[in-house]
Amino acid sequence: MKAWYRDWFSSPYYHLLYNNRNDNEAFEFINRLIAYLHPQPGSKMLDVACGRGRHSKALAEMGYDVTGIDIAPDSIEAAKINEEEHLQFFLHDMRQPFWINYFDFAFNFFTSFGYFRTRREHDAAFRTIAQSLNNDGTFVIDYLNVHYTEDHLTRVESKKVDDTLFHISRWHDEEHFFKQIQIEQNGHVLKHLYTERVAKFSLGDFTDMLAYQGLQVQEAFGDYNLGHYDVRKSPRMIIIAKKAKK
């Protein structure tokens, strides 16, 4: 069965639905994160699941050498328009090995993980990231907080963007969150029905998966202001891990 994200992430409706995300909030978060991490000028950075590269571009504009990878061909094609000497993009599946012992930092922003069917596939993705980092490299993953998301799930909503109406339904089971998107355009309901699925990974799950790949969790924040992480009250789970020196 074809993975849901391959069709959905390449769909023009995906970009239309999420085009109005709060970029200012995202860039403020990245600025705050960089201030916390204190990378050296020119540090090599990997943006895993970079999409169209907005955040990779922001990091490059801060003076870093940035590489973005993503599984969606349309997204990488759009990202490549902004390539320059210190910013490049590649079509790549994060489960497959990438450059080895090369990057000082790797980032996975805004719940761009947890999509695969099996734990083995998620482990493979973390193996790729761990191997891509040099000794003492840093990995940051920004993920939803399971308990908070369960308590604040909006079950049904509609969102109109231009002449397209998105009917969105959300639910969850013991292992995953689901979001189903039905698309209506000019009063006609399209046959395509997309369903997102994200794994319910806890801080303990991430700690174990990362440790297995030689990445030790150093800190966990609970929001984009880098506030204290609370397992029930924090909207996000932002984990900072370091690769063990050899």
Within 8 A by CB and 6+ apart from 75, the residues are: 9, 10, 50, 51, 52, 53
DSSP 80: G
Query: Which residue do the tokens 């990488």 mark?
Result: 76
- Distances from the Cα of 51 to the Cα of 36, 98, 182, 203, angstroms: 24, 17, 22, 25
Within 8 A by CB and 6+ apart from 24, the residues are: none
What the block records as the tokens of 138 is 């840093």
Q: Which domains does the chain have, with CATH numbers?
A: 4-145+202-243 (3.40.50.150), 149-197 (no CATH)
Q: What is the pLDDT along the chain (246 residues), one digit of tens a residue?
A: 468 998 899 888 998 898 766 667 778 999 999 999 999 999 999 999 999 998 999 999 999 999 999 999 999 999 999 999 999 999 999 999 999 999 999 999 999 999 999 999 999 999 999 999 999 999 999 999 999 999 999 999 999 998 899 999 999 999 999 999 999 988 888 877 899 999 999 999 999 999 999 999 999 999 999 999 999 999 999 999 999 876
With contact defined as beta carbons under 8 Å apart, do 115 and 175 qualify? Answer: no
For residue 232, the model assigns a pLDDT of 96
Alpha helices, DSSP H, located in the chain: 4-9, 12-18, 23-37, 54-61, 73-79, 119-132, 146-151, 203-212
With contact defined as beta carbons under 8 Å apart, do 178 and 172 qualify? Answer: yes
Count CA within 13 A, CB hemisphere, residue 74. 11
What the block records as the tokens of 63 is 């003076």
Q: How far apart are alpha carbons 219 and 208 in whole angstroms?
A: 14
With contact defined as beta carbons under 8 Å apart, do 114 and 87 qualify? Answer: no
Provide the whole-model pTM.
0.94
What the block records as the tokens of 171 is 């639910």
What the block records as the tokens of 9 is 């992430």
